Chain A
Amino acid sequence: QKEVEQDPGPLSVPEGAIVSLNCTYSNSAFQYFMWYRQYSRKGPELLMYTYSSGNKEDGRFTAQVDKSSKYISLFIRDSQPSDSATYLCASAGSGAGSYQLTFGKGTKLSVIP
């Protein structure tokens, strides 16, 4: 079992829709949770960053972490065609030996005008 599982999609929604992207993870040591956005032919860029459980909001984006169920979510409100990209969830632990992020495989999102 991969440490971070993500539905690869693809996911296609109309412009203005609310998008929900989800991941599950298995490593209880994970404390840091991220969402990266990757446009076609580009490198991933950090979109949202959360430490431990809870919600974080940034404009149209909300990240949620539920450590009790090991569930990570990203919500996009009022989705725009410019949101069309692959979204990668990622997690990292704390303490020794946890220097690298573990990524999900990514969900490809298309927002149709």
Chain B
Amino acid sequence: DSGVTQTPKHLITATGQRVTLRCSPRSGDLSVYWYQQSLDQGLQFLIQYYNGEERAKGNILERFSAQQFPDLHSELNLSSLELGDSALYFCASSVASQTTGELFFGEGSRLTVL
């Protein structure tokens, strides 16, 4: 158990809909990262927050947004969903603002868009 909690574990929805994925980092970790994992693209970095502030942005679509709350949990909002958004979405956390590679991953949220 990494200590990172993600909900929901599975989500099935239709195209055009909006979903919210939630992540609670390990106790004491200030950074939260969101990754998307698909078979053809592998694990792709989406966005990082550190202590409530956006720290880095990766390949995140404009239809997607995230935030980190004062209690350090984070939410990833996916809107106007398309079939291609079906993937595993992972949250990871770390203590530092700058990654040294020691990220702790949750078990992921599997999103299926029909």
Contact = CB atoms under 8 A, between A and B. Distances in A.
Interface in A29-80: 32-34, 41-46, 49
B106 A99 contact: no
Given A101-B45, A105-B42, A92 B100 contact: yes
Interface in B20-56: 33, 41-45, 48, 55-56
A44 B90 CA distance: 9
B83 to A, nearest CB: 21
Interface residues of A, number: 23
Contacts, number: 64
Interface size class of B (residues with CB under 8 A): 20 to 34
A103 interface: yes
A92 B96 CA distance: 14
Contacts of B98: 98-99
A63 to B, nearest CB: 11
B107 A99 contact: no
Given A43-B105, A43-B106, A101 B99 contact: yes
Nearest to B41: A105
Interface in B74-114: 90, 92, 97-108
Contact of B101 (A32, A41, A45, A105): A32
